[in-house]
Amino acid sequence: MATVSNWIDHLSAKEVAGAVYPGVGSEGILVLIAFVLWVGWHVISAKQESDKLAKLARKRHGPNDWKSNVTDG
C-alpha cells in the first residue's frame, strides 16, 4: 500500500513522482466508495427525519407546549 518507502530514493529519482498517498492508482475505487457513502447518507438520514417528523406530528402539541420543556439549568 505504501507509495513511498524511502524518501531519499524517492526524491533523488530522475523524475519525482508527485502522488505520495497510499494506494496510488486506486482513485476510481475510492471515488466509488465516496459516491455510495454520499447517496447512502441521504437515504438513511431522510428516512430518519421522516420517521421523527411523523412521530412528533402525531402528538399534536400546541404552539406553546414547548415552554414546559425549558430547563432552568
Partner 1 sequence: MTDELGALTTIFTEFYYWVTVVLMFLIHVGFCMYEVGASRYKHHQHTLMKNTMLIPLVTVTWFLFGWWIYWAFPTGPGLAPSIMNESAALITDESAFSAKWYVPTSQLMAVNLGDHISGVFWAAFLLFSWTAASIVSGAVIERITTFAFGILAIAIGSVFWTIDAAWGWHFDGWMLKLLGYHDAYASGVIHACAGGFALGILAVLGPRIGKFSSSGEPRNIGPRNPWLVTVGLFLIYTGFWGFYAACNIPIFNLGPEYGMEGVTYFTATNIYVTPTTLSGITFNFLMSLSGGLLAGYVISKGDPFWTYSSGLAGIICASAGNDLYHPIQSMIIGMIGVVVAYKMHYWVERKFKIDDAVGAVAVHGYAGFAGLVICGFVLNGYPSSGYSVGSMWVGTDYAAINPLGMFIGALVMFVVLGFIPGWIIAKVLHGIGKLRIPREVELAGLDYEIMEAAKDDEKSVASASR
CA–CA separation, 47 vs 33, rounded Å? 21
CA–CA separation, 57 vs 51, rounded Å? 10
Candidates 33, 40, 46, 51; binder of partner 1 (CB under 8 A) is 46
Tell me: does residue 44 bind partner 1 (CB under 8 A): no
Binding mask 14-43 for partner 1 (x = CB under 8 A): --xxxxxx--x--xx-xx--xx--x---x-
Query: In angstroms, what is the minimal distance from the CB of 40 to partner 1?
Result: 12
CA–CA separation, 63 vs 69, rounded Å? 12
Per CB under 8 A, residues contacting partner 1 are 16-21, 24, 27-28, 30-31, 34-35, 38, 42, 45-46, 49-50, 52-63, 65-66, 68-73
